[in-house]
């Protein structure tokens, strides 16, 4: 009320039409208030204005307008050119514009205002109304809108290219639906307020002139030399008009805030050291010593250039001898001389020296000539902190906005000042505000690579390949990085943006402490290991779906880790005993059918993994390697190798072990990104390694020459045979320890050969006493048939079970199934159930019915089989 500067009514409101343009008196405000910018006196007589914004039906239909403390009123104020009066300070206490309420805290002032209105008999009624009020997310305090000056970025301009690059598909979002989200935001983009009133962050590089009010924008880009940039940056870090020594400059150069360390030394020498004094030039003897030590090395440089030889970094600081030599030549020996003489000497030779210096630098790798901080300091102490006859010059003096004042005597300290671009005054104050954190983060993709310098890193790594992040910062961060990248680099910051899933609990609910459904990763790691947790998250990370995490899943994948461990133990133990001749050059080995099969499977997996990773389908990648390792390598291949390892010829053992180890090695590499610890641990124990750590070893690549489709297919048929036999065992309730006689009749000669080559393994895997493989078999007496694609197997179960008893058992099972079937059938024929029950429940019941029906058929056929056996036997 104290900050009101108008009363607004709707222009269509008949009640107030006559009043528009007249003025009303604010009863509580002082007669004179001062506008927000201090430029205007604002009366307590305020106009009545007409504005569409006012809702006739709401309240009295007349609205007080407080432009400095309400965003909507601000807009009305802009339309009617109303003055703006701030009545609170930054702590939400009333200021001098509040007259007698000045100094009161806002809630206190509210009470006092009501009292005052009552006292003046101006209060008609007190009514409670609900309205929206903003609250601070952290403290919960009510936020008061408050007029202040802020810096804004015109984002519409910036957004144009950032929209284009995504629309054109040159920058992709994965999953793709986020593209739409991004674009919708960008189409509706508003100016971005980038100034923040907090004390951390990049300070806004604007200096206000106290004399002429000009806003000077300085950045280190206006300086050419690195030394000037450094000093400017120290400046921006509040070192304004303070003295500092070159040691501080060096500290700054090597501080993590200063992002050009790889260029620093070289440029530092060019910019800074070129101008340094020569302490050795005290007398003829010293000079001669100096020349003897350094000048003669110059030819070495030339030779080295011709021969591409390595050069000691110290010899590269060759400009000093040149300057000295110049002076030497010009008769300065034994004479006193000035700094100017040195500079003159240097200047004459500088271009020539610099040219040589550059050639040397280009010939050498950068790092060869880089000094570390310690060396640089030592060098400076050696060369600059000596007894200088006339002081030293570190930085050249410059005209214009920037100048260096040299202090010759007082302990080698320097100080600088900035000058107003417009009036030349040095009475400048930097803006106190800092940049919005997202503004600073938006520079990340190129800022970290050395920008604004044209560094090798920037050249090599920008644009980056992939950004992985959460959907909640697509606008805050991703969009801003794209805009800034397009603006400053004229190139996207990354090719792909992968938006990862959100981790929820197993029911899909957000984890929260109050709900008590939080799964703490650290707990999970100590219980199940970091690998299991990491694997679980990867396995669940399907594109476009939230991760429903449960402890059970993590526990489940711990079994996988155990499986890996146990399988590896089998390999390592055998390697210890028989592995001395193994090789990874397996192409040249005498490979068996099963070797060819596992190698084919491995390469198929590598292929699939490569594709999944390329498409960012991490869950598929996880399940592909899981399936391969558990269901092919562990379940089958390991078993297949036992016969050859334990009973084979030395050559057979070596081949089996070589393939076994080769496949383990590749599997570990495939697994490493999602199970880093266990894979590294095991890999370190392998006898053949091509690098120090698996972490830096080569990721497996598909090898056409190790793919054998036909042999692989035959092993698949063989697996089918074994599975069909196992099924019969389960169906007829034959104990696992009971060994049976099995007859296998393959379809063709080729398959017969495969089966025969693996007869011992079949025996082992099907738990058989005797295996007879022949194409000339008739179904023997007392056997049950197991059918598979390429063979028929006859299993002799006569001695294994009491057939009569088994028939009884199966008939009982049949009865149970039929009973359940009846219930299910009744349910499904009940119309009420179908109509009223939730769809999932009905679907589930239908599924159950189908399952029961299948079981019924199966049991019936088993009983039929058994009865036949009984008749034959009896
Ligand atoms: Zn000025």
Query: Band of the pLDDT at 733, cuts 50, 70, 90?
Result: confident
Tokens found for residue 497: 């943006």
pLDDT at 838: 85
Ligand 1 center from residue 238 Cα (angstroms): 20
Cβ(441)–Cβ(194) under 8 Å? no
178-235 pLDDT tens trace: 999 999 999 999 999 999 988 888 888 888 999 998 998 877 666 655 556 666 666 6
Q: How far apart are CA 224 and CA 406, in angstroms?
A: 19
pLDDT (tens digit per residue) in 228-251: 666 666 666 555 555 555 556 556
Q: What is the per-residue pLDDT for 413?
A: 40
| Mean pLDDT on 830-846 | 87
Gap from CA of 215 to ligand 1 centroid (Å): 8
- Greater pLDDT, 737 or 4: 4
Choice between 413 and 619, residue whose per-residue pLDDT is larger: 619
Query: pLDDT tier at 492 (50, 70, 90 boundaries)?
Result: very high
Angstrom distance (rounded) from CA 185 to CA 198:
27
**304 pLDDT more than 50:** no
pLDDT of residue 246: 52
Tell me what pLDDT residue 348 has.
54
Over residues 436-446, mean pLDDT:
93
Ligand 1 centre to CA of 436 (Å) is 27
Quote the CA–CA distance of 276 and 413 in Å, as a whole number.
Answer: 14
Q: Would you call 491 exposed, middle or buried from its count of C-beta atoms within 10 A (0-12, 13-18, 19+)?
A: middle
CA of 212 to the centre of ligand 1 (A): 4
Q: Report the pLDDT value the prediction gives residue 253, as an integer from 0 to 100.
A: 59
How close is the Cα of 154 to the center of ligand 1, in Å?
A: 26
Residues whose CB is under 5 A from ligand 1 (ion)? 209, 211-212, 214, 420, 422-423, 425
Predicted confidence at residue 256, as pLDDT, reads 52
How remote is the CA of residue 397 from the centroid of ligand 1, in Å? 21
- 398 Cα: distance to centroid of ligand 1 (angstroms): 19
User: Measured between alpha carbons, how far is 254 from 246 in angstroms, rounded to an integer?
Assistant: 12
**Residue 660 tokens, joined:** 């076994």
What CA–CA distances, in Å, run from 328 to 275, 318, 578? 18, 15, 78
How many angstroms is it from 401 CA to the middle of ligand 1? 11
Backbone dihedral angles phi then psi of residue 468, each to the nearest 5 degrees: -110, 125
User: Ligand 1 mean position to 428 CA, how many Å?
Assistant: 8
Higher pLDDT, 246 or 387: 246
CA gap 664, 672 in Å, rounded:
12
Helix (H) or strand (E) holding 740: strand 740-746
- Tell me the pLDDT tens digit for each residue of 770-824: 999 999 988 888 788 888 999 999 998 877 777 788 888 889 999 999 999 999 9
3 state SS of 278: coil
Task: Please tell me the distance from the alpha carbon of residue 873 to that of residue 781, in angstroms, as a whole number.
Answer: 8
* Distance separating alpha carbons of residues 402 and 145, to the nearest angstrom: 40
Measured in Å, residue 424 CA sits from the centre of ligand 1 at 6
Give the domains, in start order, of the chain with CATH numbers.
6-119 (3.90.740.10), 153-203+436-499 (no CATH), 217-430 (no CATH), 532-707 (1.10.730.10), 802-874 (1.10.287.380)
Condensed to tens digits (0 to 9), the pLDDT of residues 509-561 reads: 888 888 888 999 999 999 999 999 999 999 998 888 888 999 999 999 999 99
Q: Minimal CA–CA distance to 350: which of 290, 295, 274?
A: 274
């Amino acid at each position: 009320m104290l900050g009101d500067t108008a009363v607004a009514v709707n222009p269509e409101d008949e009640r107030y039409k006559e009043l528009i343009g007249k003025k009303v008196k604010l009863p509580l405000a002082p007669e004179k208030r001062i506008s927000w910018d201090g430029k205007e006196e604002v009366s307590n007589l305020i106009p009545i204005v007409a504005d569409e914004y006012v809702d006739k039906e709401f309240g009295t239909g007349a609205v007080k307008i407080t432009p400095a403390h309400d965003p909507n009123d601000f807009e009305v104020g802009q339309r009617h050119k109303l003055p703006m009066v701030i009545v609170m300070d930054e702590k939400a206490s009333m200021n001098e514009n509040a007259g007698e309420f000045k100094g009161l805290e806002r809630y206190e002032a509210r009470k006092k205002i009501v009292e005052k209105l009552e006292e003046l008999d101006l209060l008609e009624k007190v009514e409670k109304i609900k309205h929206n009020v903003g609250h601070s997310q952290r403290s919960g305090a009510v936020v008061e809108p408050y007029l202040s000056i802020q810096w804004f970025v015109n984002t519409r301009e910036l957004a144009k290219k950032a929209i284009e690059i995504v629309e054109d598909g040159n920058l992709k979002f994965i999953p793709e639906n986020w593209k739409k989200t991004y674009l919708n935001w960008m189409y509706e983009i508003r100016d971005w307020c980038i100034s923040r009133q907090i004390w951390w962050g990049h300070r806004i590089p604007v200096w206000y002139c106290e004399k002429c009010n000009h806003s000077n924008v300085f950045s280190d880009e206006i300086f050419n030399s690195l030394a000037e940039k450094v000093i400017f940056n120290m400046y921006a870090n509040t070192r304004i008009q303070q003295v500092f020594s070159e040691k501080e400059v060096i500290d700054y150069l090597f501080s993590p805030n200063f992002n050009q360390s790889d260029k620093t030394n070289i440029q530092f020498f060019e910019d800074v050291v070129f101008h340094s004094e020569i302490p050795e030039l005290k007398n003829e003897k010293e000079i001669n010593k100096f020349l003897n030590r350094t000048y003669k090395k110059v030819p070495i440089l030339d030779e080295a250039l011709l021969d591409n030889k390595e050069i000691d970094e110290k010899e590269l600081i060759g400009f000093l001898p040149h300057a000295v030599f110049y002076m030497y030549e010009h008769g300065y020996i034994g004479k006193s001389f000035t700094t100017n003489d040195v500079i003159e000497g240097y200047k004459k030779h500088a271009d020539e020296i610099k040219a040589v210096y550059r050639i040397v630098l280009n010939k050498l790798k950068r790092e060869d000539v880089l000094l570390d901080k310690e060396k640089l300091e030592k060098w400076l102490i050696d060369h600059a902190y000596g007894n200088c006859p006339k002081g030293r010059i570190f930085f050249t003096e410059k005209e214009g906005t920037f100048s260096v004042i040299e202090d010759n005597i007082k302990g080698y300290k320097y100080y600088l000042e900035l000058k107003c671009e417009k009036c030349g005054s040095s009475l400048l104050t930097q803006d106190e505000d800092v940049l919005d954190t997202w503004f600073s983060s938006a520079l990340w993709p190129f800022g970290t690579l050395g920008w604004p310098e044209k560094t090798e890193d920037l050249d090599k790594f920008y644009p980056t390949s992939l950004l992985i992040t959460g959907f909640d910062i697509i606008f805050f961060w991703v969009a801003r990085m794209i805009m800034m990248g397009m603006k400053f680099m004229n190139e996207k910051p990354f090719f792909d943006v992968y938006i990862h899933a959100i981790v929820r609990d197993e029911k899909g609910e957000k984890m929260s402490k109050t709900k008590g459904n939080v799964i703490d990763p650290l707990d999970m790691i100590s219980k199940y290991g970091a690998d299991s947790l990491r694997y679980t998250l990867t396995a669940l990370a399907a594109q476009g779906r939230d991760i429903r995490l449960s402890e059970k899943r993590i526990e489940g994948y711990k079994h996988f880790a155990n499986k890996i461990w146990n399988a590896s133990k089998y390999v390592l133990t055998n390697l210890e005993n028989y592995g001395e001749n193994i090789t990874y050059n397996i192409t040249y080995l005498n490979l068996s059918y099963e070797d060819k099969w596992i190698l084919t499977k491995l390469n198929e997996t590598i292929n699939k993994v490569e594709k999944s990773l390329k498409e960012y389908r991490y869950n598929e990648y996880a399940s592909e390697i899981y399936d391969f390792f558990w269901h092919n390598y562990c379940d089958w291949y390991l078993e297949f190798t036992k016969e050859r390892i334990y009973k084979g010829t030395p050559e057979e053992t070596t081949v089996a072990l070589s393939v076994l180890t080769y496949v383990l090695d590749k599997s570990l590499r495939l697994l490493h990104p999602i199970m880093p610890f266990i894979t590294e641990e095991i890999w370190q124990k392998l006898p053949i390694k091509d690098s120090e750590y698996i972490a830096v070893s080569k990721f497996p690549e598909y090898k056409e020459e190790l793919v054998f489709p036909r042999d692989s297919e035959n092993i698949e048929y063989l697996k089918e045979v074994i599975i069909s036999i196992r099924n019969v065992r389960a169906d007829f309730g034959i104990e696992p320890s009971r060994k049976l006689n099995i007859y296998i009749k393959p379809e063709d000669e080729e398959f017969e050969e495969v089966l025969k080559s693996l007869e011992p393994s079949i025996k082992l895997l099907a738990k058989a006493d005797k295996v007879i493989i022949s194409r000339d078999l008739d179904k023997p007496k007392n056997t049950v048939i197991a059918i598979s694609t390429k063979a028929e197997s006859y299993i002799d179960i006569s001695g294994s079970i009491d057939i009569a008893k088994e028939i009884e058992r199966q008939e009982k099972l049949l009865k149970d199934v039929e009973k359940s079937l009846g219930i299910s059938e009744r349910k499904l024929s009940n119309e009420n159930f179908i109509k009223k029950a939730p769809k999932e429940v009905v679907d589930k019941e239908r599924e159950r019915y189908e399952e029961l029906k299948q079981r019924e058929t199966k049991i019936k056929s088993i009983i039929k089989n058994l009865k036949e056996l009984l008749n034959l036997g009896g």
